Structure formats: C-alpha cells, structure tokens
C-alpha cells in the first residue's frame, strides 16, 4: 500500500535503514489495531460554523462536583450550538505547569473527573486534546524507569555532558537547559530540560520513544479526539551544534503522525503549536497536505494588541494581506487569548524593539507581568506578556475598554481561519494577580479557577462586566456561524481605507461581507462611493441599515455589512 510505503520511507529518512525497519515493525503493529479509513469524499476539514473553545478542565468549579461535570453542564446550557469544538487543556495527572508536565498519558486527572466525563463532553462537541510530546514529568513512571535503567527506557532522555557548548540552542526560557539527576545505580547524569527542571525532554533518536508517543496519539483518537495539538513541536529534535529548533526531523515526525492518521483517522486534524515568527510558524503546513492542517496564528494576538494601542491599522492590514494559503487543506487557528500569555517573538521583523518596549510598558501599567528568555550571548529579551487579554484592552476605562476589547474580537472573527476563544475572554475575566502571588508564576494571571455560582450570578445581571462582554461575544459567534463568507478558506481582500479602520472583505458562494472596525478612540467618516459597493447595506450584527456613501463609525465600533438582497 502506498501510504504504508510512505511511512517506511519517512522512518528511513529519520533513522537510517536498520533502525527504520525496527521502528516500522513496531508502528505497523500499532496501526493494524485500527481499520484503515478513507476520508469522506468531498468533505472539507473546515466549515464557517467552526468555532473552538479553549478551557482548562477546572476553569469552572462547583463545590461537591468534579470540574469536568461542571464544564459539561455549563457548556450544555450556554455553548451547545455556539462552539463546534472544545479544547480541554491537558487533563492528565501532572506535577507542574498546570498540566503540561504530564505524569501519565493514559489517565484523566482524578481531581478533574474521568474518561466518562471527557466522552460525555464529546456528545455535544468535537474534542481537541493536547499531545504533550516534547517532554514528560520528572515524577512520571517513564522517567522513574529511565532512572532504574529498565529495558526500553535506557534512551528515554537526552544525556549531555555539562561542559558541552550549547550556546547556539534557541531558548524559550531563562532557566538552565540541563538538569542534574542521579540514577538509582548512583550514576549522575545531566538531561535536557527545555522548559523546566520538572519537564524532561524525550529523546526521539530512540525509536522506542517514537513508538510510545504514537501509541499515545492513537489512544487519544480512540477516546474521541478530533483535533490533536502537538505541543512545543518545534523543539522536538536536538542536534548538538545547531539551534535545536525547527530541525528537519521535527517536521518529518509531524509528517509521520499525519501519515498514520491519514490511514486510520483521516478526518482527525493536527495543529502545531509553535510560538515563533510567522514564516517559521507556517512552515508546519509543509506542502499543504503532508504536515499540519492548522497552525496557531501566533502573530495575531500581539499585533492586534499593538494596533489598538496606537490606534493605527496599517501594519496589521499589511500583515493580514499575507494570510492567503495555497491549499484548502490548511487554515489558521486564530486566537487572541489562551492559557499562555501574549507572545513577543512573533513580532520579530514586524515591529522594532522600541515599539515592543511600548507594549511592555502598557502591560505593566495595566497590571500584567513580563516573562523573559535568555539569548545565546547571555542577555535577556521579553518572551511573553502575561496579562488577561481583556485587561490588555480595558486600560481603566471600563465602558470604552469593553468596546475596545470586543472590537478586537470582531477582527479575529472576520479573518481567514478558524476562530478560537479562551473561556476567560468570553467570560470577561480580569487579571488574577492573587493567583500569581500564590504560584509565583506569571502565566497564572489568566488561568483563574472560577466558581460557577459567582459566574452565573454575574451573567444574569445585564449590568455586570461579565454579562456585558458575554452577551455581545455570544452574539458575535452566533452571527458569524451563519455566514458562509466566513468560511476559513473563503476568499478575502484587505482594504486600505483609513489608518484608523481595519477593513476586510470576505467572499464565498455569492455572499460578500464587508467588515469594518474602527480601532481608534476617534469618530471616523468614510465613503465607499464609486468602489462597487452597494449603497445600502445591513449590519449583520445589529440589523441596522447603513449607507456606504457616507459611513460614520464611532470609536471602536465594528460592523459586518452584507447585501440587503441576501
């Protein structure tokens, strides 16, 4: 079979002839457990009705109830028919990093619930799981077996002599790259730990490691995952003397995972998480059909924040013009907030350092924090801005700040790609500084554990901060899901009308939508007369009529104008 031969070929490229055969025989046994499937003819990966919710399993809590059940009940009442997919951030037993230091890949953290709770959520929503494949917890049974030098685990980790020159390695953190451990035999070793001393990097030069992680991948598919997020994939393969990021073998392993899924679960989507500049990020699309179907649009959150901060859309508009993709099998995962902060690296080559420093000061002024990364020369640069995305826009002006925040979300929803919404954005959560004081970790600021009774009491009060954001946000999603011109791969054109306006036109199946967003605190007048735009158009969000010959947008007003004949 052609696809089986392709798997053998990619393994040979990664491991060489001898080890490739060993790896192939192991992987073939895994995939033979599944019947081979053909992708449904004519069915696309994406739809204009796709909207993804990002949440921790315990973002919502109720006394006496496991959090996954609380999430199910809330989602069943408010989010069914709104979100197509729920991304439950790592819900496995863990030792640190709020789930991203996994102790056991095959179990649900009992503090959250059970596999039955996960599958129940899957009755109303497609599910997105994290495959945390770069590293494992130092408290995991796998790492303990490595320390015991058990058969099959001898090469689990990457041992490095601490005198080795690792100055070329790209660092996402300002922490030591190597961590010292003592094996049970008494031998001391230094192992590679990209993210923290508790997160032990796996050694993919061992085909035993590859086999273990493919088995985890297939287990997730068996248990309902329709989207698989490859966490920290850019750092997967290490070669001394290189920068150890985006190496060809990392891309080859993404291709291998795609080949395996194309055989047994061809409608399962791979999304790569690479918090890097745009061109590096989109390299994980491969040739359009052989790597990830989606990549995180990491440039969007900081660039959108910057554009509103200065009230000028020119840089954002020029960047957005480049979001065209060659393949209908690919699209962007458009998000503005997530469990992490607002990445700074994706602005490299787009904004000068002084403008990034400007954002850093705004974040600090608005109650946030800044995380740094270490450079090869020993200096440090901002890596991430840690702040609730809501508070990044509020700026102590509650009414105007709400409008500013919602306007940013309207742009996110108008861009090509699948929109993803962090639960704390739609619920209007603010900076959780108390959490940071408790954990001493900056990222905790937007990972608050909410009490459901308090949330519900605020949502039923139309004057509350949460309710004002939630109701407008829900309307934004409801309207968007009904517009075929917002298909993730629909044609688009970014218009240069006024520096204070972000304007994009979306086209699909005889529907055209003009999205105009005033990103400034000023009133803006514009005219589309003589540009082929109908004079009378209806705002799909409010139902109000607008004359495009003389259009006035209030500060931070956003409209989605459609032809009244439709």
Supply the CATH number for residue 546's domain: 2.60.40.1180
Helix (H), strand (E), coil (C) string for 494-510 = EECCCCCEEEEEEEECC
Mean pLDDT to the nearest integer, 139-163: 97
Q: Is 50 a catalytic residue?
A: no
Q: Is the pLDDT of residue 563 over 80?
A: no
213 plus 283 within the same structural domain: yes
Q: Do 146 and 100 have their domain in common?
A: no
Instruction: For residues 20 and 53, state if they share a domain.
Output: no
User: Looking at residue 41, what is its pLDDT?
Assistant: 66
Q: Which pLDDT belongs to residue 565?
A: 54
- Distance CA(117)–CA(69), nearest Å, equals 6
Per-residue model confidence as pLDDT tens digits over 236-251: 999 999 999 999 999 9
374 part of a folded domain: no
Chain centroid, CA 254 distance in Å: 17
226 in a structural domain: yes
Same domain for 12 and 52, yes or no, is no
User: Inter-axis angle of helices 248-264 and 2-15, to 10 degrees?
Assistant: 160
**Domain assignment of residue 331, yes or no:** no
Residue 392 has pLDDT above 90, yes or no: yes
Same domain? For 57 and 87 the reply is yes
Cα gap 217→131, rounded to integer Å: 7
pLDDT tens-digit readout, 306-340: 999 999 999 999 999 999 998 999 999 999 999 99
pLDDT of residue 566: 47
Helices (H), 92-182: 115-121, 141-147
So what's the pLDDT on residue 99?
96
In a shared domain, residues 51 and 30:
no
pLDDT more than 90, % of the chain:
90
Query: Tokens 């109701």 sit at which residue?
Result: 471
- Let me know whether 241 and 277 are in one domain: yes
Determine contact, residues 490/502, Cβ cutoff 8 Å.
no
**What domain count does the chain have?**
4
Q: What count of other Cβ atoms lies within 10 Å of the Cβ of residue 501?
A: 20
Does the pLDDT of residue 462 top 70, yes or no?
yes
Domain assignment of residue 499, given as a range: 491-563
Going by C-beta distance under 8 Å and a sequence separation of 6 or more, which residues neighbour residue 359?
302, 305, 306, 309, 344, 385
- In this structure, the answer to whether residues 286 and 219 fall within a common structural domain is yes
Report pLDDT for 42.
61
| Rounded-to-integer distance, Cα 400 and Cα 132, Å | 39
What per-residue confidence (pLDDT) applies to 542? 96
| Among candidate residues 148, 179, 201, the one where a domain is terminated | 201
Is the predicted pLDDT of residue 559 greater than 60, yes or no?
yes
Strand partners, 539: 561
Mean pLDDT in residue range 450-454: 98
Considering the domain architecture, whether residues 196 and 210 belong to the same structural domain is answered as no
Question: Over 60: is that where the pLDDT of 564 sits?
Answer: no
Residue 444 lies in a domain: no
In a domain, 404, yes or no: no
Q: Which helix (H) or strand (E) holds 251?
A: helix 248-264
253 within a domain of the structure (yes/no): yes
Instruction: Give yes or no: residues 114 and 172 share one domain.
Output: no
- What is the distance between the alpha carbons of residues 330 and 326, in angstroms, rounded to a whole number? 8
Calculate mean pLDDT across residues 115-122: 98
In a domain, 163, yes or no: yes
Q: Pick the range with the lowest mean pLDDT from 136-140, 151-155, 520-524, 533-537.
A: 533-537
Answer with the one of 126, 159, 184 that is the final residue of a domain.
Answer: 126
In 276-325, where does DSSP find H-type helix?
278-282, 300-310, 314-320
- The count of other CB atoms within 10 Å of the CB of residue 105 is 21
Q: Which CATH number goes with the domain that contains 192?
A: 3.90.400.10
Q: Which residues pair with 359 in a beta bridge?
A: none
Helix, strand or coil, per DSSP, at residue 234:
helix
**Residue range 174-206, pLDDT digits in tens:** 889 999 999 999 999 999 999 999 999 999 999
Please write the tens of the pLDDT for every residue from 539-551.
Answer: 999 999 999 999 9
Domain termination site, one of 176, 201, 226 = 201
State pLDDT tens for residues 43-89: 789 999 999 999 999 999 999 999 999 999 999 999 999 999 999 99
For residue 35, pLDDT over 70 is answered with: yes
210 & 285 share domain: yes
Cα torsion for 561, 482, 466, 545, to the nearest 10°? 30
- Mean pLDDT for all residues in the chain: 95
Co-location of 196 and 119 in the same domain: no
- Poorest-pLDDT segment among 191-200, 281-290, 443-452, 530-539: 530-539
The answer to whether position 171 is within a domain reads: yes
Annotated catalytic residue within 117, 201, 231, 262: 231
């Amino acid at each position: 079979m052609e696809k089986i031969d392709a798997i053998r070929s990619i393994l040979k490229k990664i491991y060489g002839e001898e080890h490739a055969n060993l790896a192939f025989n192991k992987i073939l046994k895994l995939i033979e457990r599944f019947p081979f499937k053909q992708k449904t003819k004519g069915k696309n990966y994406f739809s204009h009705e796709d909207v993804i919710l990002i949440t921790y399993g315990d973002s919502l809590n109720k006394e006496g109830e496991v959090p996954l059940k609380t999430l199910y009940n809330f989602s069943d009442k408010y989010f069914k028919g709104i979100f197509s997919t729920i991304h439950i951030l790592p819900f496995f037993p863990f030792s640190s990093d709020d789930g991203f230091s996994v102790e056991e890949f095959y179990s649900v953290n009992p503090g959250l619930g059970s596999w039955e709770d996960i599958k129940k959520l899957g009755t109303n929503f497609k599910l997105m799981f994290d495959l945390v494949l770069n590293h494992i917890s130092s408290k995991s049974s796998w790492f303990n077996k490595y320390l015991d030098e058990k058969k099959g685990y001898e090469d689990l980790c990457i041992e490095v002599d601490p005198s080795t020159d690792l100055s070329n390695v790209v660092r996402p953190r300002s922490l030591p790259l190597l961590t010292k451990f003592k094996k049970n035999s008494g031998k001391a070793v230094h192992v590679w730990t990209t993210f923290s001393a508790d997160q032990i990097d796996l050694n993919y030069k061992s085909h035993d490691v590859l086999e273990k992680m493919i088995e985890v991948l297939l287990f997730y598919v068996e248990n309902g995952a329709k989207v698989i997020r490859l966490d920290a994939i850019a750092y997967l393969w290490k070669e001394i003397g290189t920068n150890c990021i985006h190496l060809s073998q990392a891309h080859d392993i993404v291709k291998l995972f795609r080949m395996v899924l194309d055989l047994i679960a061809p409608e399962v989507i791979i999304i790569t998480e690479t918090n890097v500049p745009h061109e590096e990020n989109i390299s994980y699309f491969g040739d359009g059909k052989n790597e990830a179907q989606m990549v995180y649009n990491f440039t969007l959150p900081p660039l959108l924040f910057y554009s509103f901060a200065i009230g000028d859309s020119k840089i954002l508009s020029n960047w957005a013009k480049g979001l065209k993709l060659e393949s209908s099998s690919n699209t962007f995962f458009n998000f503005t907030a997530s469990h992490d902060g607002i990445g700074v690296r994706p602005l490299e080559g787009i904004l000068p350092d002084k403008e990034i420093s400007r954002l850093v000061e705004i974040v600090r002024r608005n109650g946030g924090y800044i995380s740094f990364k270490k450079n090869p020369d020993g200096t440090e640069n901002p890596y991430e801005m840690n702040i609730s995305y809501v508070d990044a826009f509020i700026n102590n002006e509650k009414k105007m700040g709400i409008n500013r925040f919602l306007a940013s979300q309207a742009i996110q929803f108008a861009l090509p790609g699948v929109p993803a919404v962090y639960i704390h954005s739609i619920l209007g959560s603010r900076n959780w500084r108390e959490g940071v004081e408790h954990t001493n970790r900056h990222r905790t600021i937007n990972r608050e554990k909410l009490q459901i009774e308090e949330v519900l009491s605020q949502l039923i009060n139309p004057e509350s901060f949460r309710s004002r954001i939630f109701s407008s946000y829900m309307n934004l999603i409801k309207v968007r899901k009904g517009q075929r011109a917002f298909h993730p791969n629909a044609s688009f054109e970014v218009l240069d009308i006024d520096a204070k306006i972000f304007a994009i036109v979306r086209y699909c199946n005889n529907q055209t939508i003009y999205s105009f967003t005033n990103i400034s605190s000023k009133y803006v007048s514009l005219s589309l007369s003589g540009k082929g735009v109908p004079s009378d158009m209806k705002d799909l969000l409010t139902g109000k009529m607008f004359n495009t010959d003389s259009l006035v947008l209030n500060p931070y007003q956003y409209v989605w104008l459609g032809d009244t004949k439709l």
